[in-house]
Amino acid sequence: MRTYQHALKWLSILAFLAANFWSCAPSNLLRVHYQLPAKSDTLAGKQIFLTFKDAREEKTILSESAREDLRDFSEIFTLVVVQASGDEKLLGAYDLSALLTEAFKQRLHQSGLQVTEKIQLKHQIDFVLNRFALDLEARKWILTMSYQTILKEDGDLVISESISGTAERVKVVGSRDAEKIISELISDMINKVEITKLFQQAGW
């Protein structure tokens, strides 16, 4: 009985330490929660080749004021995908390009699409990032993001859609508010793309 209680005690301690480890993520990483929309099978069975292009004129993510507050940030993010049911899955650590590529890939999967690495595939979708900037003004986080999705067939442009938006959040303490505003805007911006409608307009 004593052995069981001793083991239970250590399991409780380990669980406590694990919970605190994840709640106190390293300050050099920002955790992004991407909220997926409801799953759809409308495009089930279709394949698409996904590419990402970073077309930003300013490659730096943080403004000078934001950098002062997040001085340890390494421009690496951890990505957590959140299902409509609330279930969460940690996918890994990514730089900005890989983060958005993976989040958009998850969005395509959620529409029923099979994302493939076959470059010679007839149908292709390009994710072109034009702006991603986090600023801190008057104790308020301001995030701006804009990108374009381009559908191509045999390398030729068929249809495109441009998405842009800005979000603001009052800064309290630490980096959690920065993480929240990034999570919210990325989720909103990626989910704004009407994947099914684009495919229908392209005649696919």
Domain-located, residue 128: yes
Domains identified in the chain, total number = 1
Q: Is 10 a residue whose pLDDT tops 60?
A: no
Domain-located, residue 14: no
How confident is the prediction for the chain on average, in pLDDT? 86
Mean pLDDT computed over 114-131? 89
Exposure b/e, 100-136, CB count within 10 A at least 16 = b:
bbbbbbbbbebbbbebeeeeeeebbbbbbbbebbbbb
Query: What CATH number does the domain containing 40 carry?
Result: 3.40.50.10610
Domain-located, residue 30: yes
pLDDT at 172: 73
Instruction: Show the domain range for 150.
Output: 24-202
pLDDT-derived band at 61 (thresholds 50, 70, 90) equals very high
Domain-located, residue 168: yes
Domain-located, residue 159: yes
Domain-located, residue 15: no
pLDDT at 118: 72
